[in-house]
C-alpha cells in the first residue's frame, strides 16, 4: 500500500469490534459538511466557511478529549473533492498546510497523537513533510488519537487493501483462504483503529459520501442540519445523548443484549 498508517498504539487489547454499551463512544467519526453553505448564506466566499470549519474541528477535538473519546476521525477532503474549482482546492491545500503548522503545539499540549489516512501525496511535498513531522512529534502521545482523512475514499481504502492482500498471495506470503474479515480490516488504512462507535454528519445531507464504508458497518449514525462551522458543544451533546439512547444489538435480540 502506498501510504501506511503508523503502527498500532499499544492499549493492550485493540479490537476492531465497536465497543458494546459504553456511555461514551470510544471512536467518533465525523463528516464535517456545510462550510461552503455557511459562508454563502452570509454573503461570504466559500473559503471563509472552510476557515471557520478549522476552528470547529479544534473545538470538537477538545470536547472529545474532555468527554473521554479515545479516537476522533475527521473527514477533511474526499477523493472526489478534487472535482471542485481549482481555486477552492488550492485554498484548502493552503489551509491544510497552515493548520498542520499551527496545531501541532496544541496537540502536544493535550497529548494528542496525529494520524492521517488517505493518499495525501497529491497535496504536494510540503504537506508530505508536515504530515511526517506531525506524526513523528505526536507519536508517543496517549490521551487521544486524532485521525484526519485527506484525499480519502472508502472505495480507495478497500481497493488498496485488496491489492495489498492479492500481492501477498502472489508472493506466496499468504494464500487466498487466509483472508478473513480481520485480515481485511487490518489491511485498511484504519488497521490501527477500532471501528467507529458514533458517526456524525453535519450539513443536512443523509449520506456517507464514500467515507469509511467498511468500518461503519455497525456504527450508530447521527445526522444534523447544523452546518459545520455552527456545530457547537450543544450539538455534540445532542449526538452523545442520541448515542446513549441507542441499543447496539449487533444482530442479537434486544433481550440478549440487556441480559
- Active-site residue list: 33, 81
Stretch that binds Mg ion, among 16-24, 32-40, 128-136, 213-221 (CB under 5 A): 32-40
Of 16-75, binders to ligand IPE (CB under 6 A) are: 31-37, 75
Of 76-135, binders to ligand IPE (CB under 6 A) are: 76-78, 81, 92
What is the maximum alpha-carbon separation in the chain? 59
Single out the residue of 107, 203, 212, 239 in contact with ligand IPE (rule: CB under 6 A).
203
Contact by Cβ (8 Å): 186, 63? no
- Choose the one of Mg ion, ligand IPE, none that binds residue 196, judging by a C-beta under 5 to 8 angstroms depending on kind: none
Rounded to a whole number of angstroms, the minimum distance from the CB of residue 186 to ligand IPE is 25
Rounded to a whole number of angstroms, the minimum distance from the CB of residue 131 to ligand IPE is 17
Q: Which CB, 33 or 119, lies closer to Mg ion?
A: 33
- Check binding of 33 to Mg ion (CB under 5 A): yes
81, 217, 218, 253 from 258: Cα distances, Å = 43, 21, 18, 9
- Check binding of 205 to ligand IPE (CB under 6 A): yes
Indicate the SS3 state at residue 222: strand
The two counts, helices (H) then strands (E), for the chain are 8, 6
- Choose the one of ligand IPE, Mg ion, none that binds residue 78, judging by a C-beta under 5 to 8 angstroms depending on kind: ligand IPE
Single out the residue of 209, 232, 238, 244 in contact with ligand IPE (rule: CB under 6 A).
209
> What is the grid cell recorded at 113?
497523537
Q: Which residues of 227-257 are buried (b: 16+ CB within 10 A; e: fewer)?
A: bbbebeeebbeebbebbeeeebeeeeeeeee
Q: Given strand 27-31, what is the order of strands in its sheet?
A: 112-117, 144-152, 71-78, 27-31, 198-201, 220-223
- Choose the one of ligand IPE, Mg ion, none that binds residue 48, judging by a C-beta under 5 to 8 angstroms depending on kind: none
Contact by Cβ (8 Å): 35, 50? yes
Residues at the site binding ligand IPE, with contacts judged by CB under 6 A: 31-37, 75-78, 81, 92, 203, 205, 207, 209
Residues at the site binding Mg ion, with contacts judged by CB under 5 A: 33
Amino acid at each position: 500500500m502506498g501510504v501506511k498508517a503508523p503502527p498500532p498504539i499499544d492499549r493492550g487489547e485493540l479490537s476492531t469490534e465497536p465497543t458494546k454499551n459504553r456511555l461514551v463512544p470510544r471512536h467518533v467519526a465525523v463528516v464535517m459538511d456545510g462550510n461552503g453553505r455557511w459562508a454563502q448564506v452570509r454573503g461570504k466566499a466559500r473559503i471563509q466557511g472552510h476557515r471557520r470549519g478549522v476552528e470547529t474541528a479544534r473545538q470538537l477535538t477538545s470536547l472529545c478529549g474532555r468527554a473521554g473519546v479515545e479516537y476522533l476521525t475527521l473527514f477533511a477532503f474526499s477523493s472526489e473533492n478534487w472535482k471542485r474549482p481549482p481555486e477552492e482546492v488550492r485554498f484548502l491545500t493552503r489551509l491544510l498546510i497552515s493548520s498542520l503548522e499551527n496545531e501541532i503545539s496544541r496537540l502536544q499540549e493535550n497529548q494528542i497523537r496525529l494520524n492521517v489516512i488517505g493518499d495525501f501525496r497529491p497535496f504536494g511535498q510540503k504537506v508530505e513533510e508536515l504530515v511526517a513531522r506531525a506524526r513523528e512529534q505526536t507519536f508517543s502521545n496517549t490521551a487521544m488519537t486524532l485521525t484526519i482523512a485527506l484525499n480519502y475514499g472508502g472505495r480507495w481504502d478497500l481497493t488498496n487493501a485488496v491489492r495489498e492482500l492479492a500481492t501477498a498471495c502472489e508472493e506466496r506470503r499468504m494464500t487466498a483462504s487466509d483472508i478473513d474479515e480481520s485480515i481485511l480490516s487490518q489491511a485498511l488504512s484504519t488497521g490501527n483503529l477500532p471501528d467507529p462507535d458514533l458517526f456524525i454528519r453535519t450539513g443536512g445531507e443523509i449520506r456517507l459520501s464514500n467515507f469509511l464504508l467498511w468500518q461503519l458497518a455497525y456504527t450508530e449514525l447521527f445526522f444534523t442540519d447544523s452546518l459545520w462551522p455552527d456545530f457547537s458543544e450543544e450539538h455534540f451533546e445532542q449526538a452523545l445523548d442520541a448515542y446513549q439512547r441507542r441499543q447496539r444489538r449487533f444482530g442479537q435480540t434486544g433481550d440478549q443484549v440487556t441480559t
